[in-house]
Amino acid sequence: MASAKLTAKDLLTLGFPSGKPVTIALQLIDTYYTDLARNHQIELLQDVLTAPEQYKLQATLGPLAQAILTQKSSGPIELKPGKQKFAIYGGENIEGGALHQMELAMRLPIAQAGALMPDAHQGYGLPIGGVLATHNVAIPYGVGVDIGCRMCMSIYDIHTGFIDKNQDKLKKMLLDNTRFGHTSFKRPMNHPVMDRPEFSELPIVREMKDRAYQQLGTSGGGNHFVEFGTVEIHDVNNDHDLPKGKYLAILSHSGSRRLGANIAGYYTKVAMDACQLPPDAKHLAWLDLDTEAGQEYWLAMNLAGDYASACHHQIHERLANKLTEQPMAVIENHHNFAWKEKDATGKEVIVHRKGATPAGKGVMGIIPGSMATPGFIVRGKGEAASINSASHGAGRLMSRTEAKKTLSLPQVRKYLQKAGVDVLGSGLDEAPMVYKDINKVMASQQDLVEVVGTFHPKIVRMNGDEKYIEVD
């Protein structure tokens, strides 16, 4: 009898090409060879792998042999040789790994143009802070795991002193009306996005519907937050007729939760099966938008984006209800997404922004700093070289593990106290000092955006034990 069941990982270790050969091999074992001892199962599969020609006409092992042969004969897609040009902003403070990933992405045969934002750092496939324009293909890892990760700010005609006078009340308001990480609301509010046909039509999305409903109106972990702060409007040209002045604002950062993560994971695998790239570029696998899988991904990605937007709107709605006020303006934008846009010559391109703020001419957006440094309301300048994009934040200076190793709670509490910021939840890995200087980052993208308003966080809620960083 077989002992430990063979897994995909075992087969990859044996040198099976990922994708169809692995899938078929596991199916064959499950269907015909469950009685065979594990080592004999492995021997059998290895025989087919080393000499697929001898097995290709066999009834049972034929399909596996064929899949291996197809993979071998097609070979990986070739990358363009040499360095391709792309614009880099704030390059003196961008890590080598992110730069290398962007250089690699530019060599894809489907790459039309690219740019690297000043907050860039290494990710899977495209770097975070990477922008890539392609023609009629979508790269799931060019969008990222958290599809539709976005910012939303509501601005209230409430004087800023209200925050200091109502500290405890506002803290409780955040604790009662936001949920982070693995927690969710006992009774989620419904939202029209849950009635979208994609929830019944796309298999991978259908499986996620219950979880998506459960997570409606919640925020994620890591760098996600909901905070009260003050915003100063410097420029009346702001799309919302906001007069110059100081206002109370609520700012949120979150994405599409488990729904988007599963969509990203599933379609990345589909892409990697359909699009074989050299090993170091494999996470940049794409889906042709004329194929069924490509169209499915496009629909699912857009759904995840709308779902993420719905989550933010519910967060802001809950808080607006408690404040018994309606905002004067709401400014929001995705920063992990792909859009159909026109390039300078009028040709339609798919613009992937993985941790980048849309900054077309006149387009409003939000670029946050950290829990204790300013964030900015910006208006895009429509700079073609940046593919109408800007950074999505300050960018990390220190890894999470390094932060936990080198920083201490008293040190961070002192910093927050000095900055006059209250933090509920979070941890050392999100401390302000793990991020680049947001003012320098903004300075390096003056050609990309104009600053319309400056936001200062005052009461911040993030994932984790509410008492962890709390300074009071």
Partner DNA sequence: ATGTCC
456 is catalytic: no
Pairing of β 422-424 and β 449-462: parallel
| Region from 58-66, 74-82, 170-178, 221-229 binding DNA, contact rule CB under 7 A | 221-229
Q: From 53-61, 106-114, 252-260, 439-447, give the range in contact with DNA by CB under 7 A.
A: 252-260
- For position 344 contacting DNA by CB under 7 A, the verdict is no
Considering only residues 1, 3, 4, 9, which one is a binding residue for DNA as defined by CB under 7 A?
9
Instruction: Find the shortest distance in angstroms from Cβ 395 to DNA.
Output: 11
* Residue 223 near DNA by CB under 7 A: yes
Phi, psi of 245 (to 5 degrees): 150, 180
**What Rg do the C-alpha atoms of the chain give, in angstroms?**
24
Min separation Cβ 275 and DNA, Å: 15
Q: Which of 5, 12, 189, 203 binds DNA (CB under 7 A)?
A: 12
The nearer residue to DNA, 163 or 226, going by C-beta atoms, is: 226
Minimum CB distance to DNA smaller for 196 or for 257: 257
Nearer Cβ to DNA, position 100 or 182? 182
Give the separation between CA 431 and CA 377, rounded to whole angstroms. 22
Decide whether 147 or 363 has the Cβ nearer to DNA. Answer: 147
Please give, one letter per residue, the 3-state secondary structure of the chain.
CCCCCCCHHHHHHCCCCCCHHHHHHHHHHHHHCCCCCHHHHHHHHHHHHHCHHHHCCCCCCHHHHHHHHHHHHHCCCCCCCCCCCCEECCHHHCCHHHHHHHHHHHCCCCEEEEEEEEEEECCCCCCEEEEEEECCEECHHHHCCCCCCEEEEEEECCCCHHHHHCHHHHHHHHHHHCCECCCCCCCCCCCHHHHCCHHHHCHHHHCCHHHHHHCCCCECCCCCEEEEEEEEECCCCCCCCCCCEEEEEEEEEECCHHHHHHHHHHHHHHHHHHCCCCHHHHHHCCEECCCHHHHHHHHHHHHHHHHHHHHHHHHHHHHHHHHCCCCCEEEEEECEEEEEEECCCCCEEEEEEECEEECCCCCEEEECCCCCCCEEEEEECCCHHHCCEEECCCCECCCHHHHHHHCCHHHHHHHHHHHCCEEECCCHHHCHHHECCHHHHHHCCCCCEEEEEEEEEEEEEECCCCCCCCCC
Residue given tokens 């074992």 in the structure block: 29
354 close to 338: Cβ distance less than 8 angstroms:
no
Binding DNA by CB under 7 A: which of 121, 179, 196, 257? 257
Say whether residue 425 binds DNA (CB under 7 A): no
Contact between 18 and DNA by CB under 7 A: the answer reads yes
One of 17, 62, 188, 221 touching DNA (CB under 7 A): 221
Catalytic residue among 191, 316, 392, 456: 392
Decide if 75 contacts 277 (C-beta within 8 A). Answer: no
Q: Does 146 bind DNA (CB under 7 A)?
A: yes
121 binds DNA (CB under 7 A): no
Q: Is there binding between residue 444 and DNA (CB under 7 A)? A: no
Choose the binding region for DNA from 215-223, 274-282, 383-391, 402-410 (rule: CB under 7 A).
215-223
The answer to the question of residue 182 lying near DNA (CB under 7 A) is yes
186 near DNA (CB under 7 A): no
In 312-340, which positions are buried (b, 16+ CB within 10 angstroms) versus exposed (e)? bbbbbebbbeebeeebbbbbbbbbbbbbe
- Could you say whether residue 125 binds DNA (CB under 7 A)? no
Count of residues engaged in binding DNA, rule: CB under 7 A: 20
104: Cβ contacts below 8 Å, ≥ 6 apart: 79, 280, 281, 284
Question: Quick one: which segment of 7-15, 63-71, 160-168, 364-372 binds DNA (CB under 7 A)?
Answer: 7-15
**Residue 414 beta carbon to DNA: minimum distance, rounded to whole angstroms:** 24
83 interacts with DNA by CB under 7 A: no
Q: Which is nearer to DNA, 23 or 136 (CB)?
A: 23
Pick from 62, 181, 188, 278 the residue near DNA by CB under 7 A.
181
CB of 255 to DNA, least distance (A): 6
Contact 144, 344 (CB under 8 A): no
Task: Spell out, one character per residue from 261 to 290, where the chain touches DNA: x when CB under 7 A holds, - when not.
Answer: x-------x---------------------
Cβ 279 to DNA shortest distance, Å: 14
Residue 427 interacting with DNA (CB under 7 A): no
Minimum gap (Å) between residue 214 Cβ and DNA: 8
145 near DNA, rule: CB under 7 A: yes
> Which one among 149, 170, 303, 356 touches DNA, defined by CB under 7 A?
149
Q: Which residue's CB is nearer to DNA, number 380 or number 457?
A: 457
Give the residue, chosen from 121, 171, 196, 224, that forms a contact with DNA under the rule CB under 7 A: 224
The answer to whether residue 8 forms part of the interface with DNA (CB under 7 A) is yes
Which stretches of the chain bind DNA, using CB under 7 A? 8-9, 12, 18, 145-146, 149, 181-182, 220-224, 255, 257-258, 261, 269, 463
Task: Report the catalytic residues.
Answer: 392
